[in-house]
Structure formats: structure tokens, C-alpha cells
């Protein structure tokens, strides 16, 4: 099995759930914490190309709600990517890299694909 890389924030409930499921299933993975390890602009742009920049934005989180309404409404790809680099908690989590593919979020489909159902 190719390497599983789980990107997110350590204290995110969804990331914790994904990590527990992977560990319980014996799936080896590498965790990259946006806050501690940072995020490369090129990697973020690659994710946006594959998933769409709008899919990457976590519109349910406190960071999104704290943005001024004008800023939320004026987002385009470039400004959204710059904002996600500045405030990585805006990125929907986890972002999973595996087998040359990028997956977003944690649910039955991603768990199955990684052998952690």
C-alpha cells in the first residue's frame, strides 16, 4: 500500500476520528499538522486543482465565521488560497494524500479506500 499522509490539525475532532480509525485498522500513516509543520503554497495549489478551491474551505468553522462578510463574499481562488495559507484552520480537514490522489474529509468512502472501515 502506498503511503497515507493525513494533513490537518491535531485538536480537530474529525482528524482525531480519522487517526483513531487508521490506527485501529493497523494502517500506517504520516500526520502533518498545519499549525506545527506549516503548509506549502505549491501543495495547497495542487489540492485546489484536484478538488477545487471552494471544496477546501471549511465554512462551518469559527475561523470562517470570524472573517468579515465582505471578505467572505469577495473570495476568488487566489485570495482564498492566500487566506488558507495565512489561516490554515480555514481548510476543511483532514486532507488525505494516498496513491496519487487527494481526498477530503473523513467518512465511510475515505475510510473504505484506506482500509480503515
Helix (H) or strand (E) holding 73: helix 69-73
Q: How far apart are CA 71 and CA 24, in angstroms?
A: 41
* Residues 6 or more apart in contact with residue 101 via CB below 8 angstroms: 50
CA angle, corner 86, sides to 71 and 33, nearest 5?
130
- Give catalytic status of residue 86 as yes or no: no
Grid look-up 473504505 returns: 112
- Please name the residue that has the C-alpha cell 485570495: 79
Candidates 4, 12, 44, 56; catalytic one: 12
Q: Which residues are catalytic?
A: 12
Amino acid at each position: 500500500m502506498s503511503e497515507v499522509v493525513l494533513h490537518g490539525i491535531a485538536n480537530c475532532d474529525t482528524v482525531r476520528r480519522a487517526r483513531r480509525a487508521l490506527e485501529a485498522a493497523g494502517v500506517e500513516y504520516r500526520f502533518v499538522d498545519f499549525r506545527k509543520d506549516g503548509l506549502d503554497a505549491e501543495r495547497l495549489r495542487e489540492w485546489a486543482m484536484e478538488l477545487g478551491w471552494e471544496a477546501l474551505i471549511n465554512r462551518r468553522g469559527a475561523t470562517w465565521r470570524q472573517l468579515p462578510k465582505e471578505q467572505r463574499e469577495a473570495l476568488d481562488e487566489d485570495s482564498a488560497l492566500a487566506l488558507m495559507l495565512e489561516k490554515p484552520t480555514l481548510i476543511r480537514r483532514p486532507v488525505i494524500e494516498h496513491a496519487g490522489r487527494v481526498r477530503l474529509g473523513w467518512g465511510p468512502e475515505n475510510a473504505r479506500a484506506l482500509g480503515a472501515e
